[in-house]
């Protein structure tokens, strides 16, 4: 059964005690506690903290608390995400600066990071006049940011053993395909011929890949904070893993992340060629469009399977979210897109 969500007042009291204890503070005042997202596994709380230190200094902080509602197999731990954010921030990737690793104060693993203001809702980013200038710059920015992500040496930051990596003896493409096919077989009792066709095509066209890199794993609109000047921050790193960097370039082009701007395949703001040029110019690897196409087919299959998973979370009683239930209906969108992509191939 889903765990009952704590109230803002309850969370505020717990965060006040935690910050006072961890900072050795004279006093802590917490204001504006609100739940940004909630679900069966993750919660994100926003709040402001005024910390008065014993030496008389006062810090005013805009913070986010990222918490696990429950531990789930395959989901990144909060400690690993904390360390990863430290590493990518040091590597020049625009991400929130982490503030403190939590304890058991919230009854679940959590950490605190800075709150970056801006817009995350795709409809506003793609439609509002306020972001017209941002839309002109975002395609190049998305390529430049990915180049920085893929340069990060995970071994030097002690993250290699904490992140999911390719299956021993298999390429990143073969590994990810095996994982998503396994999930598909385990959760979909009803037939999906378009998915079966996609799996067959993907197995028959496995791309060669170079040295694996850090991959964000969910690089798209919705996981970006945007201002009038463009991308301010990249969020939601819990699906990061070691794999083929072309996976990220393709995922941001999956049709569902265009939100209606289908003539602009890169997140509804630009063209693939501009993304690839910016990525290479910023130090990313040479892009083979055919390999990115393979990963785009894979990405649509993956999102379709995730849609089924989201619906099952509701149907199986793991979450009461109506949003998860309705996402299951989007499976048909991915099936249609797969048929279009495979016809072109």
DSSP assignments along 193-253, one per residue: HHHHHHHHHHHHTPPP--S-EEE-S--STTSEEEETTEEEEE---TT-EEE-THHHHHHTT
Give the model's pLDDT for residue 234.
Answer: 98
The reported pLDDT for the residue numbered 72 is 55
What is the Cα–Cα distance from 338 to 293, expressed in whole angstroms?
11
* CB burial of residue 200 (10 Å; 0-12, 13-18, 19+): exposed
β-strand partners of 30: 49
Looking at residue 182, its pLDDT comes to 96
- Reading the block at residue 1, the tokens are 């059964």
**Total Cβ atoms within 10 A of residue 203:** 13
**Domain 122-344, classified CATH 3.90.1200.10, yes or no:** yes
Distance CA 155, CA 160 (A): 5
**Helices marked H in the chain — which ranges?**
8-23, 78-90, 122-127, 132-151, 172-187, 193-204, 246-251, 272-281, 289-315, 322-327, 331-344
Instruction: Specify the fold of 8-114.
Output: Phosphorylase Kinase; domain 1 (3.30.200)
- Domain ranges in the chain are 8-114, 122-344
Asked, colleague to colleague, whether 8-114 and 122-344 share their fold, the answer is no
Taking residue 194's Cβ as centre, other Cβ atoms within 10 Å add up to 20
Task: Give the tokens for residue 121.
Answer: 């809702």
Q: What is the pLDDT of residue 70?
A: 55
CA distance 331 to 247: 20
Which secondary-structure segment (H or E) carries 27? strand 27-38
Q: What is the pLDDT along the chain (345 residues), one digit of tens a residue?
A: 445 678 999 999 999 999 999 999 999 999 999 998 654 457 899 999 999 999 999 999 999 999 886 555 567 889 999 999 999 999 999 999 999 999 888 888 899 999 999 999 999 999 999 999 999 999 999 999 999 999 999 999 999 899 999 999 999 999 999 999 999 999 878 899 999 999 999 999 999 888 999 999 999 999 999 999 999 999 999 999 999 999 999 999 999 999 999 999 999 999 999 999 999 999 999 999 999 999 999 999 999 999 999 888 877 887 777 888 888 889 999 999 999 999 876
Full-model pTM: 0.92
């Amino acid at each position: 059964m889903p765990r009952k969500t704590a109230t803002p007042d309850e969370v505020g009291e717990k965060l006040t005690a935690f910050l006072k204890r961890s900072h050795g503070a004279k006093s802590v005042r917490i204001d504006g506690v609100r739940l940004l997202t909630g679900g069966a596994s993750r919660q994100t709380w926003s709040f402001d903290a005024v910390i008065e230190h014993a030496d008389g200094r006062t810090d005013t902080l805009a913070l986010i608390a990222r918490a696990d509602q429950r531990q789930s197999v395959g989901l990144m731990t909060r400690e690993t995400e904390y360390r990863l954010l430290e590493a990518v921030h040091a590597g020049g990737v625009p991400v929130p600066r982490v503030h403190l690793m939590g304890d058991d104060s919230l009854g679940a693993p959590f950490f605190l990071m800075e709150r970056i203001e801006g817009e995350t809702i795709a409809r506003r980013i793609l439609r509002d006049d306020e972001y017209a200038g941002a839309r002109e710059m975002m395609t190049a920015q998305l390529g430049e940011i990915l180049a920085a992500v893929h340069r990060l040496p995970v071994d030097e930051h002690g993250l290699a053993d904490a992140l999911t990596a390719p299956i021993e003896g298999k390429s990143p493409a073969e590994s990810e395909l095996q994982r998503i096919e396994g999930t598909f077989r385990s959760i979909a009792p009803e037939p999906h011929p378009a998915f079966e066709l996609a799996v067959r095509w993907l197995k028959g066209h496995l791309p060669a890949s170079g040295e694996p890199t850090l991959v964000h794993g969910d690089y798209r609109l919705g996981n970006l904070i945007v201002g009038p000047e463009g991308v301010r921050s990249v969020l939601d790193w819990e699906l990061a893993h070691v794999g083929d960097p072309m996976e990220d370039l393709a995922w941001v082009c999956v049709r569902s992340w265009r939100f209606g701007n289908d003539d602009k395949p890169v997140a509804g703001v630009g063209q693939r060629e501009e993304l690839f040029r910016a990525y290479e110019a910023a130090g990313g690897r040479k892009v083979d469009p055919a390999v990115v196409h393979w990963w785009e087919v894979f990405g649509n299959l993956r999102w379709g399977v995730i849609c089924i998973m989201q619906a099952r979370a509701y149907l199986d009683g793991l979450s009461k979210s109506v949003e998860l239930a309705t996402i299951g209906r989007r499976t048909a969108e991915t099936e249609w897109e797969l048929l279009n992509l495979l016809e072109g191939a």
